[in-house]
Amino acid sequence: MSMGQKKTFIGARILWALALLLLLIVIAGGPGVHLGLWSPLDGFILSMRAGFMGGLALAILALIIIIMIAVKKKAGMGKAILSLLIGLLLAAPVGYLRLSGGGGVPPIHDIATDTANPLVFMALVGKRGEGANSITYAGAELAAQQKQSYPDVGPLLVDGDPDKAFSRSLDVARDMGWDITGVDAKARRFEATDHSFWFNFADDVVVAVTATDAGSRIDLRSVSRVGRSDLGVNAKRIMAFQKNYAATP
């Protein structure tokens, strides 16, 4: 070490090591699911809890270390500040959900384009795993929550033959990466499962096409297998399907 060069504060080195360790733990939640080490929900909880509680603890410790470095006039301020930022960033998602009351979305996980006569699952009954959310529609209260938070969710009305609309719906679902099952061309309906990328959450979808005087009507229902709130994912999935359908030639 050259003359006049400050010695790195040992606390900054330890803090940086803790920051990297915490970051690895938070990141491990998703890959652990794909490796079969834990369930999607357990992986999500691991990442969220480690990120929030560990992130807050890391940020507080980083502030203490920053003050100590400043007082002792030691090197290592860069690592301490970066550790503080990592802690705050890791704690931010859960902090936002808590402060916003669930991210500004209702605690529901079942979205339907027709809440008066929601589509019923058939092929996926009994195949959703132990402890999965019920696929029995919760009724008027659920419908009211959906209408208030997702007023744009509704059936897709299109021109053309319903059989062609059904075939096109299947193509759109396949292009979106859904695992399709229970295809009933005669009834013009099918079911599918969509998995999230990181935590591999499984959400089930049922799609049905009916004839109208002007063409065809496409209804969807999307239900999460686990979790109380879907954080808006099911509504986004339905609207993405409708957008992709409209964009398909």
10-21: average pLDDT:
97
Q: Looking at the structure, tell me whether residues 123 and 229 fall in a common domain.
A: yes
Which of 9, 47, 73, 52 lies closest to 196, judged by CA? 47
Which of 242, 74, 240 lies closest to 158, judged by CA? 242
- pLDDT tens readout for residues 92-124: 999 999 888 777 889 999 999 999 999 999 999
Domain of 142, in residue numbers? 110-247
Residue 231 is encoded by which pair of tokens? 């954080």
Give the model's pLDDT for residue 197: 96
Domain membership of residue 3 (yes or no) is no
52-76: average pLDDT:
96
Residues 6 or more apart whose Cβ sits within 8 Å of residue 204? 121, 124, 128, 135, 191, 192, 193, 194, 222, 223, 225
Q: Looking at the structure, tell me whether residues 95 and 160 fall in a common domain.
A: no
CATH of the domain at 161: 3.30.530.50
Domain membership of residue 223 (yes or no) is yes
Give the model's pLDDT for residue 4: 55
Domain membership of residue 2 (yes or no) is no
3-state SS assignment for residue 15: helix
Which of 82, 109, 112, 78 lies closest to 8, judged by CA? 78
Strand partners, 247: none
Residue 1: band (very low, low, confident or very high) from pLDDT cuts 50, 70, 90: very low
Q: Looking at the structure, tell me whether residues 143 and 232 fall in a common domain.
A: yes
- pLDDT tens readout for residues 123-156: 999 999 999 999 999 999 999 999 999 999 999 9
Give the model's pLDDT for residue 95: 94
Give the model's pLDDT for residue 104: 81
Residues 6 or more apart whose Cβ sits within 8 Å of residue 10? none
- Identify the domain boundary among 72, 99, 126: 99
Do 205 and 111 touch, CB atoms closer than 8 A? no
Query: CA-to-CA distance for 138 and 153, rounded, in angstroms?
Result: 17
Residues 6 or more apart whose Cβ sits within 8 Å of residue 149? 105, 106, 235
Mean pLDDT, the chain, whole residue set = 95
CA pseudo-torsion sign 224, 168, 116, 181: negative
Q: How many domains does the chain have?
A: 2
Q: Looking at the structure, tell me whether residues 214 and 115 fall in a common domain.
A: yes
Q: Among 62-76, 99-113, 156-170, 229-243, whose mean pLDDT is lowest?
A: 99-113
